[in-house]
Structure 1
Amino acid sequence: MTQTPVLDRIRVGSAPDSWGVWFPDDPRQVPWQRFLDEVAEAGYSWIELGPYGYLPTDPARLTEEVDRRGLKVSAGTVFTGLHRGPAVWESTWEHVGQVASLTRAMGAKHLVVIPSFWRDDKTAEILEPPELTNEQWTHLTRGMERLGREVKETYGLDIVVHPHADTHIDTEEHVERFLDSTDSDLVNLCLDTGHYAYCGGDSVKLIETYGERIGYLHLKQVDPEILADVRAHGVPFGPAVQRGVMCEPPSGVPALEPVLAAAQKLGVELFAIVEQDMYPCEPDKPLPIAMRTRKFLRSCGA
């Protein structure tokens, strides 16, 4: 009988994303009260804030709601377009400030930073070239370092940058270039296992190669057959999600057991937040998946 590894440094949680929530307000999404009730019922104790404005933004109200359900907040999330240069700094900082302020008030220590999309995830319109120029890479890396510094100084939070499909930080090549061009004291990574696999990357290899830069994990899997079709036909991320490209563990790739084992070996406390993209979805679909996923992760030792 094989012994289940003890993943005592991995703190498992879930996020509004796993309930089909992509926007602050959308009639196709479950109400926030139902999300909080069900994420607690599924056996998770940690959550992310999700899109700013989905959960209550008054810290006292939100604290009361999460405390009542035995939940705690691990991170907030912001979207940025820092490759566009200093001109976007003020508008970026205004958005970051709102989210960071609530994140800090909830006792969390991380701010997940997602780069802007080069392709519209609803309409498939090409918004920008998928490859950055050298000048844009410099804007992106210097901008993220500045963001890391100022978020730390102002709010006491660490930023973790999230490689994401249809953004400029996606493939292994882009992720490594980004890490090699940024200061580890200011910027680290939120490794999303599903997005990285979607873009052809190997999560275990990344953890083993750049372990000191892994500051946070998102756990998800992709369906390899759907992914092959998505790649073959150039399908944007939003429609790919509607096709079910992000699937319920353990039916997809990458296998999460070796990812979690590699993360445990880093010897640091790490959040591992389940994020199964499925926008839009039927309101009764998320809870059974969340419960099965929590059971699966327990079987992995998390």
Structure 2
Amino acid sequence: MKYKPVLLILVFIGMAISLDSFAQKKGDPLFQAPLGIAAYTFRNEFPKGVEHTLDIIQEMGFTEYEGGTAGLTPEEFKKLCAERGISIPSTGTGFEQLEEDPQAVADRVKALGANYVMCAWIPHKGDFTKANADRAIKAFNEGGKVLKENGIIFKYHVHGYEFQPYENGTLLDYIIENTDPEYVSLQMDVMWTHFGGGDPVSLLKKYGDRWVSLHLKDFRKGAPKDMTGLTGPENDVPLGTGELDIPGILRESNKIGIKHMFIEDESDHELENLPKSIAYLKSLKY
């Protein structure tokens, strides 16, 4: 039997819809990654004791950790995490460290056993400028190449100040379009993206698999926003209680195939807020 082109197209569309429906059934969880935590969340607890803090992280059900070693050697910290069933897929680096000695960054990341390293801040004074972006593009491409040669994926953590208008888009678009996808991936902090004027869902769609992980947090309804990348802890609220479209973000992240999502609570009530955020994530279904 010979099918006309239009009929074939309809058949293929039907097959695609059927396969998509099979992949994501009604009632499946929207949050499909391991439960991850960003180290900054526990900035008030780590000074009270590393093991004490890791015990809290374990008791809350977190199995992935992103961040530093709280003053311990990478080997010591990795051991304490492993004893609690916590893996360390990702850690961080300062911009200047990456710019000046990416091999030293790679050595530290390897000692920790991580596969990713992220940079969360590009130095700038006042408004973020094209000159700042150009410096970052050079550092990211060159440092990312060294990291890849060491088996490590570099990612830039979007922080909200990069949404200054530039040409037909923003300086964030300029950075993404001028960094080599082979050496530079992206981590979306969904709250800072929203805070700077970006649309997390649209940006996930636009840049697809350049995004490899998320920081999950929510922003207080009606609070003022700008492009400083800075706001008070009172504006960080439990997931699902603020302005962000968390279900939409998770749906798009699942389509892209993002495997690592880290809750980051920057409030002064993280021990109260985290159980609420976890319960909200677990309640979300297709």
* Superposition TM-score tier, normalisation by shorter sequence: 0.7 to 0.9
Q: Deviations over 1:148-205 (max 9, x none)?
A: 101111x311011011145x47787222111111111111110110110110111110
Please list, as runs of the form range in 1=range in 2, the aligned pairs for 1:69-80 lying within 5 A after superposition: 69-80=84-95
Please list, as runs of the form range in 1=range in 2, the aligned pairs for 1:136-155 lying within 5 A after superposition: 136-153=132-149, 155=150
Q: 1:275 aligns with which of 260, 264, 269?
A: 264
* Alignment match, 1:291: 275
* Alignment match, 2:250: 260
235 and 28 in structure 1: CA distance in 2 versus 1, 3 angstrom threshold: farther
Please list, as runs of the form range in 1=range in 2, the aligned pairs for 1:52-201 lying within 5 A after superposition: 53-59=69-75, 61-80=76-95, 89-90=99-100, 93=101, 97=103, 99-118=105-124, 128-133=125-130, 135-153=131-149, 155-166=150-161, 168=162, 173-201=170-198
Aligned residues: 259
Structure number with the higher helix fraction is 2
CA displacement at 1:33 relative to structure 2: 2.2
Distance 2:33 2:164 in 1: 24
* Alignment match, 2:53: 35
Q: Is the 8 A contact 2:74 2:112 kept in 1?
A: no
SS at match of 2:35: strand
Distance 1:235 1:205 in 2: 21
Distance 1:187 1:38 in 2: 33
Structural RMSD (CA): 2.9
Distance 1:15 1:33 in 2: 16
SS at match of 2:93: strand
**Letter aligned with residue 16 of structure 1:** A
CA displacement at 1:71 relative to structure 2: 0.7
Distance 1:162 1:139 in 2: 16
115 and 169 in structure 1: CA distance in 2 versus 1, 3 angstrom threshold: farther
Unaligned runs of 5+ in 2: 1-24
Distance 2:33 2:91 in 1: 19
Query: TM-score under structure 2 normalisation?
Result: 0.79
Distance 1:216 1:235 in 2: 22
Q: Is the 8 A contact 2:36 2:64 kept in 1?
A: yes
Name which one, 1 or 2, has greater alpha-carbon Rg.
Answer: 2
* Alignment match, 1:221: 218
Q: 1:49 aligns with which of 67, 79, 91?
A: 67
Q: Deviations over 1:216-245 (max 9, x none)?
A: 11111111322x2x64xx9871xx223x11
